[in-house]
Amino acid sequence: MIRGKGCPKSTGIRGSRNINKDVVIASMNDIISPIVYIFWKIMVSLISLKIFIELYVKLEDTQAQSSQQQQPIIESNEDPNAKIMNKLMEEKIKDIVEKK
């Protein structure tokens, strides 16, 4: 028998309804939490991939810049006086060879 609100025995029906609502909420959590977990893992993976790609691009840029900078450094390490001396020595050698 269903009794009125004032009767304490009517809580059995309400309790069963509350249990059903709790079961529905629990089953929704069981459905939602794996979806959230998968979504979270995908987001973390994408962010990690983005960071890795940015670091790789920066590494390539720095390597390209360092290879471009190495050529002028090699030229600047040579002594300008040594270049002049080499030219003068070549001219003297040519003069000596022409005289003979």
Alpha-carbon span 34 to 42, nearest angstrom: 12
The answer to the question of residue 1 being in a domain is: no
Report the predicted TM-score, pTM, of the whole model to 2 decimal places: 0.39
Check pLDDT > 70 for residue 11: no
Domain encompassing residue 27: 8-99
Count: domains in the chain: 1
* Per-residue model confidence as pLDDT tens digits over 14-38: 555 555 555 555 667 777 888 889 9
The answer to the question of residue 37 being in a domain is: yes
Using CA atoms of 45, 51, 54, 59 in order, give the dihedral in degrees to the nearest 10: -110
